[in-house]
Structure 1
Amino acid sequence: MTITRPAPGQLKWWVIGTVGILLGCAVAVWFGISSTRGVSWSDAGFNIVGNTRVDVTFDVIHQNGKPVTCTLEALDLQHGQVGQTTVDLPASTYSSTRYTRTVHTVAKAVTGTVDSCSYK
């Protein structure tokens, strides 16, 4: 079976299309790898202490011996933010470390969660 050649004058577009697809694949792979690297976290629970306080328990994964900063938030029934705090966590060489930190609120919260974490 023979492969047909592109029509005259169309070779340029086949080359541009092939290069574009290869570049698109390379960018997709780069984004996929970069999104799985770095610090990650997992909510482990919360405890409503009263109308003005929530204790949030969470795991920080892949700290790699580096200190981490996490932003915690408390939410009310309508998913409105009623409290937020940023906590600095010490360096840890364990693959996963559990922390419990307090979020002070301006109204009664129904949940506490981690919004984000990043290396310092």
Structure 2
Amino acid sequence: MFIAGDILATIGFFLGLAVTSWATLLSFKLLFPARADRAAESMSENTWKTALTGTGFLLAVGGAALVLAGNPLPLVKIVGMVLLGWMFAISLVGAAGHARTSRAERPTTTVQPAPAHITSTAGAKTNQPASG
């Protein structure tokens, strides 16, 4: 049985995850514009090669990092965590490049403003809020 606190904590977790992932992606794009542009260029020219390289990198470095991070020795565990952080930083630069590529494909996509009037059921325009 869920209580209101559990539901609010879950919603807050996902909202915080969405906001921080967006902010991290934007900050990597702003901090490393040349690398993000190079990643976007590479993705648009060699899509499959880039995808397979990223997958191979994930399996090789990610697998080794998880094995090292699971080791009980402190120094080996630190090396594993550093490898995980390095892998996530590289993937964020690639994700920033991917966001740039998808934005370049749709440059005129904008949010449309809401209409300034409310249409009643009869079709007449009115400035009064619709009644429930």
TM over 0.5: no
Task: Give the alignment's TM-score, normalised by structure 2.
Answer: 0.25
Q: Which has the larger radius of gyration?
A: 1
Higher share of residues assigned strand: 1
Higher share of residues assigned helix: 2
